[in-house]
């Protein structure tokens, strides 16, 4: 499986480089109306890197789901879990080990792809994000939350149902982000508020939005406004609040997973 992931990732990075190459080669051909001031290099660089951010999140989520989709239900159905669970080491340790293992793999993966994409955009277009490290950490945090949700799902529902449920949650987060973008463009407080609530209910989306915003946090004027509309959901400042909330959310989801696993018949 890892070979497939590596090959797909290399293919993505190659295509991403190709796109960057063409966009920045033809940058001087982008000509906004004379009375509209847009920093085309910042706009192109941030837009391209924003796309990479979404792709990185998506690939990280796919990897997370495939690593954790059947940790309990699937392994129990196949008889892999029972010989381990009856050992003195206990259920909590086993589940937390699986969480940490998946988190270590996914965080490494997300950060690697994130920095590779940043290097590609930076070296090809001579544009670098305003914040280098923090967006990557938030993106990795978003994937860690998905891992916890997937583990919880694997305790209470079957592998197939869990895979569907996690991708539906991911899709719901994406829709919440797009809703926010629409609300922002229409200047609709109600729609934006609904989007914010949904993003906090699914904090991996809020972390993604926060990471997206951080890469262009110094951009202002029309360039800043356009970038805030962002690809695949808007870029919004959630700040330290979402980081603290995400940690609490993660702990709560893991605690729920451990409790459910301790009571589950195998």
Contact footprint for other proteins (CB under 8 A)? 78-80, 82-90, 263, 265-266
Which residue, 93 or 160, is less far from other proteins as judged by CB? Answer: 93
Which residue, 94 or 211, is less far from other proteins as judged by CB? Answer: 94
| Distance separating alpha carbons of residues 215 and 162, to the nearest angstrom | 33
| Distance separating alpha carbons of residues 114 and 214, to the nearest angstrom | 14
Shortest CB 66 distance to other proteins, Å: 16
Shortest CB 76 distance to other proteins, Å: 9
| Distance separating alpha carbons of residues 84 and 77, to the nearest angstrom | 14
Which residue, 78 or 218, is less far from other proteins as judged by CB? Answer: 78
Shortest CB 259 distance to other proteins, Å: 13
Which residue, 33 or 79, is less far from other proteins as judged by CB? Answer: 79
Shortest CB 95 distance to other proteins, Å: 14
């Amino acid at each position: 499986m890892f070979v497939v992931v590596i090959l797909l990732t290399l293919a993505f990075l190659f295509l991403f480089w190709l796109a960057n190459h063409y966009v920045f080669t033809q940058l001087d051909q982008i000509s906004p109306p004379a009375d509209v001031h847009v920093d085309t290099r910042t706009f192109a660089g941030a837009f391209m890197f924003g796309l990479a951010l979404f792709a990185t999140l998506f690939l990280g989520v796919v990897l997370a789901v495939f690593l954790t989709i059947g940790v309990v239900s699937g392994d129990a159905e196949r008889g892999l879990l029972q010989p381990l669970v009856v050992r003195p080491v206990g259920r909590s340790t086993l589940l937390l080990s699986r969480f940490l293992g998946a988190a270590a793999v996914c965080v490494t993966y997300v950060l690697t792809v994130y920095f590779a994409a940043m290097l590609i955009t930076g070296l090809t277009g001579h544009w670098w994000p305003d914040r280098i490290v923090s967006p990557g950490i938030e993106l990795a945090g978003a994937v860690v939350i998905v891992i916890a949700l997937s583990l919880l799902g694997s305790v209470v529902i079957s592998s197939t149902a869990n895979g569907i449920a996690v991708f539906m949650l991911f899709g719901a987060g994406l829709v919440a982000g797009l809703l926010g973008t629409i609300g922002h463009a229409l200047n609709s407080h109600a729609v934006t508020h609904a989007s914010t609530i949904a993003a906090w209910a699914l904090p991996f989306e809020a972390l993604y939005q926060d990471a997206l915003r951080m890469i262009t946090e110094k951009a202002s004027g029309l360039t800043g406004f356009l970038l805030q509309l962002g690809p695949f959901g808007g870029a919004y400042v959630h700040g330290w609040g979402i980081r603290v909330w995400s940690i609490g959310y993660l702990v709560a989801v893991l605690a729920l997973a451990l409790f459910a696993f301790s009571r589950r018949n195998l």
